[in-house]
Homo-oligomer: A and B are copies of this chain.
């Protein structure tokens, strides 16, 4: 098999409300699943406060080391929405009012007096950024170099992401099969590890659960090559039978 480049990504979740436990983040799960399907491997997530030095540090670090960086949160109209200014500073460019972004922000309000200075802040982006279309509330996200800046509200974040994600250059999508056994993880792990050692390029995971008082384990098999995933599934099913149990698969 030819060596393929693996495209990598990171997410920076910007928001005190996630760190304080007030809000349950939902964006990591959404982006993790979507990137996986696009063949891009999510390598790291950092959840950081609305603090300029923290945003600059995380974004610079990830932008250098990964192919794509996605930030969520901190691009609304309030005083703690400092993401755009921080990204501009991270890359040493000015924050400028973008005329097209201003037109879009204004288009979301019926009366001119509703377009407050605070709301117009949402039209300020780093110089050189490309706008990312927001079909719901108009105020756009933006892209600067390999950094994609998105809002924190899941429905809007998703709508913006779906508008550009198919233009991202990914690798081969990851193929997955999940096989469930009503056996505890500790019983499966020796043989499962042996299978992993024979397929070093595959990503095998095991996730224990308890259902109606019975211990069970979901074995997740991942590889970019469907034939390898199918060969792994065959081995895992045999393994489960050899331990006196039955494999289940949706």
Q: What is A's interface to B at a CB cutoff of 8 Å?
A: 13, 16-26, 28-36, 42-49, 54, 76-80, 114, 116-119, 153, 174, 185-190, 192-193, 196, 203-208, 220, 222
Contact = CB atoms under 8 A, between A and B. Distances in A.
- Kindly report how many copies of this chain are found in the complex they form together: 2
Contact of A16 (B24, B78, B203): B203
Contacts of A117: 190
Contact of A189 (B35, B48, B49, B78): B78
B45 A49 contact: no
B207 A118 contact: no
A77 B43 contact: no
Given A76-B185, A77-B189, A78-B188, 8 more contacts: A19-B43, A19-B45, A20-B36, A22-B207, A24-B26, A44-B47, A79-B189, A79-B196
12 contacts: A18-B32, A19-B45, A20-B32, A20-B33, A20-B42, A20-B222, A24-B29, A25-B25, A77-B185, A78-B189, A119-B186, A153-B208
